[in-house]
Amino acid sequence: MIASIAVAVAAAVLLMPVAWPGRARRRLRGLRMSGDPPVAAGRRARLVSAAGIGLGVAGLVGTGWGLVAGAVAAVVAERLLRRREPPHLRKERLAATADLPLGADLLAAALRAGAPLDRAAGAVAEALGGPLGSRLERTARSLRLGAEPAEAWAHLAGVTGAERLIAATVRSSASGGALAGALGRLADDLRADRAVAAEAAAQRAGVLIVLPLGLCFLPAFLLAGLVPILISVLADVL
């Protein structure tokens, strides 16, 4: 009885968007109109997925222990899904990482032209746009409002390579050293790191491509090459 109820509820939870597509679309439209942040929507999806997994496990186990196993499975699934980076955040992070070398070059050029750091960050943000541009815009706004450099440039945290840019700006504000040269060198280093990463990815792709061929070739070689020879040798010996 418990197993049947759990399976029915799990199926209802997982198939709800398919069974009532119009209702699902209305709910999604309402979420967009209400302005809910993507984080809240992701949290709801994570909880629904974890609940569906827990109910499915409870239905498969059955009896009273199924409820315990389902609860444990739901908690474990929710923890694992929480650690997974949402797709929209990963897309934004990768886009910001790709624009970071160009952003560092533009910042260096604006500083060499004599612009203050806050105006340089704002101009680069307007020129770049995208995820990195929005982060730089928040940084420029914080600098104009008198925030500390570490606090203002912390808006770039999470972007791969941005920790070096943050360290350079904080070090320059503390020592009074020229920042444009450091940003130019940083842009060159980021491009070099990207080239090395691309080359390593290409080498890994070559290995991954050859591996299935090897797995298919080795059994074929054994069956077509060695097995007939062994059979003939054993036939002559026996």
Tens of pLDDT, residue by residue, the chain (238 residues): 444 444 444 444 443 443 334 444 444 344 334 334 455 556 777 677 777 777 777 777 766 676 777 777 777 777 776 776 667 777 888 888 889 999 999 999 999 988 888 899 999 999 998 999 999 999 999 999 988 888 999 998 888 888 989 998 888 887 766 788 888 898 899 899 888 888 888 888 877 777 777 777 777 777 777 777 878 777 777 6
Number of Cβ within a 10 Å radius of residue 153? 26
Q: Which residues contact 159 (CB under 8 A, 6 or more apart)?
A: 93, 96, 97, 100, 132, 135
User: Could you write out the DSSP letters of every residue in 65-114?
Assistant: HHHHHHHHHHHHHHHHHHHSPPHHHHHHHHHHHHHHHHHHHHHHHHHHTT
d(CA 139, CA 123): 12
d(CA 6, CA 10): 6
Query: In which residue are the tokens 């680069």 written?
Result: 124
Q: Which residues contact 173 (CB under 8 A, 6 or more apart)?
A: 149
Among 167, 164, 169, 166, smallest CA distance to 193 is for: 164
Are 165 and 104 spatial neighbours (Cβ–Cβ below 8 Å)? yes
